[in-house]
């Protein structure tokens, strides 16, 4: 299935991204996740901690589907640079502003790939003594794990293909696409 773009975005159309999850499917699934999280955290006010940049679209939709109050913060973690392969390096380049002590923290991530980012970040965050830490990942590419890691909430399990859109990028392009698409010839 082909994706339709505004005709002026020729460079996107030329790369022929292959549709994986259309926006309607994403919308349904994110609402289901939000309902599940609202049930699980009923009576509490979790701190949703987004990992920039990829999670910003997912975070925006997820919090608007919640039926409980929440706080929101972001942390900037860089692991890939401009490449498609994980470097294995995880750097916190912009720290969160809100204290985690005693709070129920729900990390919001766009994709779990090798698992390096989240497994290392969890170690750092637990030192700040939150009441609990869970992970909500929009996409899970389990075939590429280098360290064991299981998210508590997962939007979609995906094949070992390079995906873009809905916040996910390739060299900072494609984040604006409302659908999730696969790019050809990129490992
Ligand atoms: C991506 C993604 C995750 C991480 C997952 O971030 O957003 O944070 O890689 O990969 P891993 O499981 O192999 O560690 P990226 O560094 O591309 O930054 P971005 O979110 O700004 O696009």
Task: Give yes or no for residue 113 CB within 6 A of ligand 1.
Answer: yes
Question: Each residue of 35-50: pLDDT tens digit?
Answer: 999 999 999 999 999 9
Q: Is the CB of 114 under 6 A from ligand 1?
A: yes
* Residue among 113, 140, 152, 160 flagged as catalytic: 113
- For residues 111 and 135, the answer to whether their CB atoms sit within 8 Å is no
Would strands 180-182 and 163-164 be described as parallel, antiparallel, or unpaired? antiparallel
Is residue 93 classed as helix, strand or coil in its secondary structure? strand
Over the stretch 114-139, which tens digit does the pLDDT of each residue have? 999 899 889 888 888 999 999 999 99
Q: Decide: 116 in ligand 1 pocket, CB within 6 A.
A: yes
pLDDT at site 156: 98
User: How far is residue 60's CA from residue 122's CA, in Å, rounded to a whole number?
Assistant: 22
pLDDT at 142: 96
What is the structure's pLDDT at 154? Answer: 98
DSSP state of 150: -
Residue 102 backbone class (left: φ over 0; alpha: ψ -120 to 50; beta: rest) = left
113 as an active site residue: the answer is yes
Q: Which portions of the chain are predicted below pLDDT 70?
A: 1-10, 13, 78-91, 185-187
């Amino acid at each position: 299935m082909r994706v339709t773009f505004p005709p002026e975005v020729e460079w996107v159309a030329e790369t022929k991204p292959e549709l994986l999850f259309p926006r309607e499917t994403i919308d349904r699934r994110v609402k289901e996740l939000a309902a599940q999280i609202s049930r699980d955290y009923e009576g509490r006010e979790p701190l949703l901690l987004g990992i920039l940049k990829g999670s910003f679209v997912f975070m925006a939709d997820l919090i608007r589907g919640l039926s409980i109050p929440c706080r929101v913060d972001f942390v900037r973690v860089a692991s890939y640079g401009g490449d498609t392969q994980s470097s294995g390096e995880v750097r916190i380049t912009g720290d969160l502003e809100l204290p985690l002590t005693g709070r129920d923290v729900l990390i919001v991530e766009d994709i779990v790939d090798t698992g390096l980012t989240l497994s290392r970040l969890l170690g750092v965050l637990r030192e700040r003594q939150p009441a609990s830490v869970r992970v909500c990942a929009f996409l899970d590419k389990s075939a590429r794990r280098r360290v064991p890691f299981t998210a508590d909430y997962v939007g979609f399990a995906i094949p070992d293909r390079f995906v873009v859109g809905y916040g996910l990028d390739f060299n900072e392009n494609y984040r604006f696409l409302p659908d999730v698409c696969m790019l050809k010839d990129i490992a």
